[in-house]
Structures are given as structure tokens and as C-alpha cells.
Amino acid sequence: MTRLIIAVDGPAAAGKGTLAKALAASLNLPYLDTGLLYRAVARQMLLKNLDPVTESGEEAARNLQPQDLLRQDLRVPEIDRAASTVATQPLVRTALLQRQRDFAAATGGVVDGRDIGTVVFPQADVKLFVTASARTRALRRHYQLHGDATLSDVALQRLIEEIEARDQKDASRAVSPLRRAEDAILLETDDLDAGAVLQKALSIVRNR
Ligand code: C5P
């Protein structure tokens, strides 16, 4: 199973990370969360008071250090928004492309993101496209950030709108938009827990 490359794409909070991490552990492959690259670039820009809408993130992308990806504060709403803005910049995507390819070149790996099956690893051995309704994804994001804390209808509605806005931005950008590769297998996870999604994915990998 060496050098097996598994691409896991899909919209925000669909469970890609949970699945990709579990798949990597089951198959003894390295795992790369490519969203962290865009999040870390966005964070560097915000720290330097650079506006991701009007200023280039290329330098931040080129100078990214491995430890920048390990920070605990990359999953906050301000960085959600800034990352999906900076991800529309072609020079940022180009600067990050080779890093992503190098990551899995020698060892293979499970790589999750938006454009892994379409752009980063179009020759991936297995391509999965993981999705769920915006409501399910909003509930999962809330649980991930706040555990069992109560979620009002108004707050849920706001989360759904934020998720839909980010999907819209990711799917409509000119470069490497979020899109299912033609040969990607669709995994709809609304009615499945993480264990069931993993079992489905493992059987897809085994039967590839
Ligand atoms: O996956 P995550 O939600 O952490 O990604 C944050 C943002 O980074 C996404 O909204 C998307 O705009 C961008 N991204 C991307 N391409 C990837 C991974 C993430 O454009 N391969």
C-alpha cells in the first residue's frame, strides 16, 4: 500500500477531516489537511494587518513554516472567512501547490481539501467527495467548536448562512473551485456517523 494517494474533497464541515484522519490511521499513511495551509496564510496576513481581499498573500504562502500549521487558533470564524478569501488568489494557490504534492510524493498519503482530486492529485488512486446538508454541517461545526453547549435557532441559522456563504465562495471562484472530480465517489454523510463513513471509505479503498 505504499505511495497510495487518497484525495478527500468536499464542502466546509462535511466531515472530511475526521474521515481523512481515520483513513490515514487505518491505512498507516500520512495525513495532510490542506485547509490548514490556507488558514495559516490567512493568519499571517491578519497578523500583519494585510487585507486578504485587496492584498497579496503570496509572500505569506511562500514563507509558511511547518509549525504555522500546528497552531490551535486556526479554526475561528475570522480565519474561516479570511482563508476562503485568500484561497481565491491564484498566486497563493500556486505557491502552495508544490508543497502539497511534495508532501505525498515519497510516501503517499490521505490529503483533504477542496481541489485535491481535481488539481493537486488528479491521478490520486482513490477520490472521495464527502458532503452533507448545510444544516448537518452547521450542527457538526457547532459541536466541534462548543461541544454540547445549547444552540439557539437563530445561532443555528447564522451558522448555516456562514457555511453556505463559504461554499458559495469556494465553488464559484475562478481558480480551482470546489467541485467533485468526475471520478470521485460521493459519500453523503447526513445519516452516517464517523465510524460508518470510515467503513464505507475503507471498502471503497479495498475495492478500488
Ligand atoms: O478545509 P477548511 O475549512 O479548513 O479550509 C479553509 C478554506 O481554505 C476553505 O474555505 C477553502 O476556501 C480553502 N481551501 C482551498 N483548497 C483546499 C483546502 C482549503 O481553497 N484544498
208: in domain: no
What is the tens place of the pLDDT at every residue in 47-98?
Answer: 999 999 999 999 999 999 999 999 989 999 899 999 999 999 999 999 999 9
Q: What is the CATH number of the domain that holds 35?
A: 3.40.50.300
Confidence at residue 17, expressed as pLDDT on a 0 to 100 scale: 95
Query: CA-to-CA distance for 208 and 206, rounded, in angstroms?
Result: 6
**What pTM, to 2 d.p., does this model score?**
0.95
- ipTM of this predicted structure: 0.99
Tell me what pLDDT residue 3 has: 86
Q: Which of 29, 12, 31 is CA-nearest to residue 21? A: 31
The pLDDT value recorded for residue 148 is 87
Residue 147 lies in a domain: yes
Known binding-site residues for ATP equal 10-18
Q: Report the half-sphere exposure of 16 (CA within 13 A, side-chain side).
A: 28
Please give the number of the atom of ligand 1 that sits closest to the Cα of 100.
21
CA 75 to ligand 1 center in whole angstroms: 11
Please report the pLDDT score of residue 144 as a whole number.
Answer: 86
DSSP state for residue 184 in the 8-state scheme: P
The pLDDT value recorded for residue 1 is: 45
In whole angstroms, what is the distance from residue 3 CA to residue 109 CA? Answer: 7
Residue nearest to ligand 1 atom 9, measured at CA: 84
Take residue 29 and report the three cell numbers written for it.
499513511
DSSP label at 164?
H
Please check whether residue 64 is in contact with residue 40, taking contact to mean a CB–CB distance below 8 angstroms: yes
Residues of the chain with pLDDT under 50: 1
Would you say residue 207 lies in a domain?
Answer: no
Q: How far away, in angstroms, is 78 Cα from ligand 1 center?
A: 14
In a domain, 39, yes or no: yes
Which pLDDT score is estimated for 126?
98
Residue 2: the pLDDT is 57
Query: What's the number of domains the chain is made of?
Result: 1
CA 26–ligand 1 middle distance (angstroms): 24
